[in-house]
């Protein structure tokens, strides 16, 4: 067998599930820098949809967490429960809403960037019984995805797999 066309590369990604209200925020704020340093984290992703009092986000809370060491925040069905989240998500590309929301929904369903010379993308999805839109722009990009499964069924899992069939690893943050 010939040599692989892919170089070996280890990227350390910290994925923090649903951070809920003040206790969750305090835990992240107190530990994120230590965790990043101790484990040499390249990318820190956090689900933020319940950040502000148990539902939605506020710009000031998000900015505080971004400044503390969170790189990207994912969300789900509670992201727009607070009015101020609507304008903020339009302006903040690192706060992403579900990618399979309708096309005119404020914000983006993905973030992409480069970590240590490697293209990466973070995508968040809400799985529903409805067919999901295909996104070919993610082909060949390593992704860590957050999914909010509203239905804990085989159908939801199959839809997730169909949506991301041409993407390498998918790492769920909730089940």
According to DSSP, the β-strands at 110-115 and 72-74 are unpaired
The domains located in the chain, with CATH, are: 13-163 (3.60.21.10)
Q: How many residues does the chain have?
A: 175
Q: Which residues of the chain have pLDDT under 50?
A: 1, 129-156, 166-170, 172, 174-175
DSSP3 helix / strand / coil % (the chain, rounded to 5):
30, 20, 50
The residues that bridge with 124 in the sheet, in sequence order, are 146
Beta-carbon contacts of residue 51 (< 8 Å; ≥ 6 apart): 19, 20, 21, 24, 25, 57, 58, 61, 62, 65
The pLDDT value given to residue 128: 56
pLDDT at res. 97: 93
Q: pLDDT tens digits, residue range 118-155?
A: 888 888 877 654 444 444 344 444 444 444 433 334 44
- Residue 149: the pLDDT is 37
Which pLDDT score is estimated for 144?
A: 43
Neighbours of 51 (CB within 10 A): 31
Looking up tokens 């400044």 gives 67
Kind and range of the H or E run holding 25 = helix 21-39
3-state secondary structure of 72: strand
């Amino acid at each position: 067998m010939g040599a692989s066309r892919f170089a070996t590369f280890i990227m350390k990604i910290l994925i923090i599930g649903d951070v809920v209200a003040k206790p969750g925020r305090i835990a992240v704020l107190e530990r994120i820098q230590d965790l990043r340093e101790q484990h040499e984290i390249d990318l820190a992703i956090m689900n933020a949809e319940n950040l502000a009092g148990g539902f939605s986000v506020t710009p000031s809370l998000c900015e505080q967490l971004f400044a503390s060491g969170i790189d990207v925040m994912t969300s789900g069905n509670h992201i727009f429960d607070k009015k101020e989240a609507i304008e903020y998500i339009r302006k903040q590309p690192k706060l992403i809403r579900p990618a399979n929301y309708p096309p005119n929904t404020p914000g983006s369903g993905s973030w992409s960037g480069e970590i240590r010379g490697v293209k990466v993308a973070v995508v968040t999805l809400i799985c529903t019984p409805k067919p999901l839109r295909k996104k070919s722009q993610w082909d060949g990009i390593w992704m860590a995805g957050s999914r909010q499964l509203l239905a804990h069924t085989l159908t939801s899992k199959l839809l997730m797999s169909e949506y991301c069939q041409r993407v390498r690893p998918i790492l769920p943050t909730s089940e």
